[in-house]
Chains A and B, each alone.
Chain A
Amino acid sequence: MKAFEPTLFEKSRPGRRATMPPETDCPQVQPEEVLPVGMLRQAPPALPELSELDVLRHFTRLSQLNFSVDTHFYPLGSCTMKYNPRVNEKAATLPGFAAIHPLAPESTVQGALALMHSLQDCLAEVTGMDAISLQPSAGAHGEITALFMISRYFQDKGENRTRVLVPDSSHGTNPASAALAGFEVVTIPSNAEGGVDLEALRANLDSTVACLMLTNPSTLGLFETGIEEIARLVHEAGGLLYYDGANMNALMGLVRPGDMGFDLVHLNLHKTFSTPHGGGGPGAGPVGARGELVHYLPGPCVVQDGETFRTEVPRHSIGRVRTFWGNFLVLVRAYAYIRTHGSQGLQDVSQAAVLSANYMRVRLQERFDLPYQGTCMHEFVLSARNLKAERGIRATDVAKRLLDFGFHAPTVYFPLIVEEALMIEPTETESLETLDSFIEAMLTLAEEEPQTLHDAPHTRPVGRLDETQAARKPVLIWPE
Chain B
Amino acid sequence: MSYLPHTRADQEHMLQAVGVSCQEDLFASIPPGLRLGRDLCLPPALAEHDLLEHLGQLAARNQVAGRSSFLGAGAYRHFVPSLVETVTSRSEFLTAYTPYQAEASQGTLQAIFEFQTMICRLTGMDVANASVYDGGTAATDAVLMALAQTRRSKVLVSRGVHPHARQILSTYLAAGGGVVEELPLREGRTEVPQVGSDVAAVVIQVPNFLGLVEDGPGLCQAARQAGALAIVAVNDPVSLAVLEAPGAYGADLVCGEAQPIGLPLSFGGPYVGFLAARKELLRRMPGRLVGLTADGQGRRGFCLTLQAREQHIRREKASSNICSNQGLCALAVTVNLALLGPEGLRRAALGSMSASAFARERLARVPGFSLAFSGPSFHEFVLRCPVPPEQILEGLAERGILGGHALGREYPELADSLLVCCTESTRRRDVEELALELEALVQAPVEVTR
Q: A45-B345, A281-B329 are in contact. Are A122 and B134 (CB under 8 A)?
A: no
The segment from B196-204, B348-356, B442-450 that touches chain A is B348-356
**Which of A233-241, A355-363, A386-394, A441-449 lies on the face that meets chain B?**
A355-363
Say yes or no: is B2 at the interface (Cβ < 8 Å to chain A).
Answer: yes
Q: Select one of A18, A68, A254, A326 contacting B95, CB under 8 A.
A: A68
A39 near B293 with CB under 8 A, answer no
A322 to B426: give the CA distance in the assembly, Å.
29
- In the complex, A305 has a CB within 8 A of chain B: no
Interface assignment of B122: CB less than 8 Å from any CB of chain A: yes
Contact at A7–B353, with CB atoms within 8 Å? no
9 inter-chain pairs at a CB distance below 8 angstroms, sorted by A residue, are A21-B78, A45-B118, A97-B58, A143-B321, A185-B316, A281-B131, A282-B329, A339-B46, A429-B3
Given A89-B89, A112-B61, A125-B40; 15 other pairs, CB 8 A cutoff = A48-B338, A62-B106, A94-B55, A101-B71, A112-B58, A112-B62, A177-B321, A179-B318, A180-B320, A254-B27, A255-B34, A323-B162, A355-B18, A461-B103, A477-B116
- Residues in B whose Cβ lies below 8 Å from that of A180: 144, 320-321
The reply to whether A358 and B171 contact each other, CB–CB distance below 8 Å, is no
* A399 contact set on B, CB distance < 8 A: 101
Knowing A87-B48, A176-B320, say if A41 contacts B243 (CB, 8 Å): yes
Contact status B106-A323, CB under 8 Å: no
Question: Which of A28, A40, A90, A225 gathers most chain B CB within 10 Å?
Answer: A28
Complexed CA–CA distance, A59 and B110 (Å): 10
Contact among A29, A69, A71, A101 with B402 in the assembled complex (CB-CB below 8 Å): A101
State whether B91 touches A71 (Cβ < 8 A): yes
In the assembled complex, which residues on chain A have CB atoms less than 8 Å from the CB atom of B346? 44
Q: Are B265 and A38 in contact (CB under 8 A)?
A: no
Nearest-neighbor residue (CB-CB) of A416 within chain B: B315
Binds A, one of B172-180, B365-373, B433-441: B172-180
Determine whether the beta carbon of A345 is less than 8 Å from that of B55.
Answer: no
Decide yes or no whether A310 CB sits under 8 A from chain B.
no
Chain A 65-94, CB within 8 Å of chain B: the 1/0 string?
Answer: 111111110101001011111010111011
- Closest B residue to A403 using CB positions: B104
B residues 240-269 in Cβ contact with A at 8 Å: 240-245, 248-249, 257, 264-269
B270 at the interface (CB under 8 A from A): yes
In angstroms, Cα B428 to Cα A363, docked, is 69
Q: Is B153 an interface residue (CB 8 A)?
A: no
CB neighbours (8 Å) of B270 from chain A are 137, 281-282, 327-330
Of A196-204, A286-294, A464-472, the one contacting chain B is A464-472
Residues facing B in A95-117 (CB within 8 A) are: 95-105, 107-112, 114-115
**A281-B329, A429-B4 given as contacts; is B83 within 8 A of A55 (CB)?**
yes
Residues on B with beta carbons closer than 8 Å to the beta carbon of A58? 338
How would residues 312 to 355 of chain A score, 1 for a CB under 8 Å from any chain B CB and 0 otherwise? Answer: 00000011111111111110100010111111111111011011
A361 to B307, CA, bound (A): 31
Q: How many residues of A contact B (CB 8 A)?
A: 207
* Given A118-B43, A323-B268, A280 contacting B133 (CB threshold 8 A): no
Residues of the B chain whose Cβ atoms lie less than 8 Å from the Cβ of A268: 324
A192 at interface (Cβ–Cβ under 8 A)? Answer: no
Looking at the assembled complex, report how far the CB atom of A126 sits from the nearest CB atom of chain B, in whole angstroms. Answer: 6
**Shortest 6 CB-CB contacts between residues of A and residues of B:** A96-B59, A324-B268, A278-B328, A102-B268, A342-B45, A111-B61
Interface: B290 (CB within 8 A): yes
B393 at the interface (CB under 8 A from A): yes
Question: Once bound together, how far apart are the Cα atoms of A332 and B402, in whole Å?
Answer: 23
Task: Report B-chain residues with C-beta under 8 Å of the C-beta of A346.
Answer: 40, 42
Residues of A within 8 A of B359 (CB): 26
Cross-chain contact of B265 among A48, A49, A100, A256 (Cβ < 8 A)? A100
Contact B269 A137 (CB under 8 A): yes
Nearest CB on B from A51, distance (A) = 9
Residues of A within 8 A of B378 (CB): 35
Chain A residue numbers with a CB within 8 Å of B126 are 477
Interface contact B341-A462, CB-CB below 8 Å: no
Contact B4 A68, beta carbon cutoff 8 Å: no
Q: Give residues 332-385 of B contacting A (CB, 8 Å).
A: 334-335, 337-355, 357-359, 376-378
Query: Judging by beta carbons under 8 Å apart, are A138 and B71 in contact?
Result: no
Determine the residue in chain B with the shortest Cβ distance to A345.
Answer: B45
Known: A90-B52, A140-B321. A318 touches B269 (CB 8 A): no
Given A29-B354, A409-B101, the answer on whether A355 and B15 have CB atoms closer than 8 Å is yes
B92 touches A36 (CB 8 A): no
Tell which of B55, B339, B424 touches A24, judged by Cβ atoms closer than 8 Å.
B424
- Distance between Cα atoms of A462 and B206 in the complex (Å): 42
What is the CA–CA distance of A354 and B25 in the complex, to the nearest angstrom?
A: 11
> A24 CA to B61 CA in the complex, in Å?
30
Q: Give the docked Cα–Cα distance between A143 and B5 (Å).
A: 33
CB contacts (< 8 Å) of B350 on chain A: these are 28-31
**Which chain B residues lie closer than 8 Å to A340 at the CB level?**
1, 45-46, 48, 51
Contacts of A466 in B (CB 8 A): 293-296
Question: Which of the residues A47, A171, A476 comes within 8 Å of B127, measured between beta carbons?
Answer: A476
Question: Which listed residue (B244, B267, B331, B426) contacts A100, Cβ 8 A?
Answer: B267
**A46: which of B101, B121, B242, B297 is its contact (CB, 8 Å)?**
B121
Q: How many Å lie between the Cα of A115 and that of B59 in the bound state?
A: 9
Binary contact readout B99-129 vs A (1 if CB under 8 angstroms, 0 otherwise): 1011111111011111011101110001110
**B301/A462 in contact, CB under 8 A:** yes
B36 touches A254 (CB 8 A): yes
A34, B361: Cα distance in complex, Å: 13
Are B131 and A355 touching (Cβ within 8 A)? Answer: no
Q: What is the CA–CA distance of A301 and B178 in the complex, to the nearest angstrom?
A: 27
The closest CB in chain A to the CB of B301 belongs to A462
Cα A223 to Cα B48 in complex, Å, equals 34
B residues within 8 A CB of A110? Answer: 61-62
> Nearest Cβ in chain A — how far from B68, in angstroms?
12
In the complex, what residues of A have CB within 8 A of residue B427's CB? 24-26
Q: Tell me the nearest residue of chain A to B216, going by C-beta.
A: A39
How many Å lie between the Cα of A39 and that of B378 in the bound state?
11
Within 8 A of A (CB), among B66-88: 66, 69, 71, 73-75, 77-79, 81-83, 85-87
Q: Is there an interface contact between A477 and B107, defined as CB atoms closer than 8 Å?
A: no
Quick check: is B44 within 8 A (CB to CB) of the other chain?
Answer: yes
Evaluate whether A99 and B424 lie within 8 angstroms (CB atoms) in the complex, with A105-B393, A464-B296 already known: no
> Which of A22, A74, A285 is packed against the most chain B CB atoms within 10 Å?
A22
The CA-CA distance from A107 to B396 in the complex, in Å, is 12
In the bound complex, residues from chain A placing their C-beta under 8 Å from that of B225 are: none
Q: Is the CB of A55 within 8 A of B335?
A: yes
B149 close to A (CB within 8 Å): no
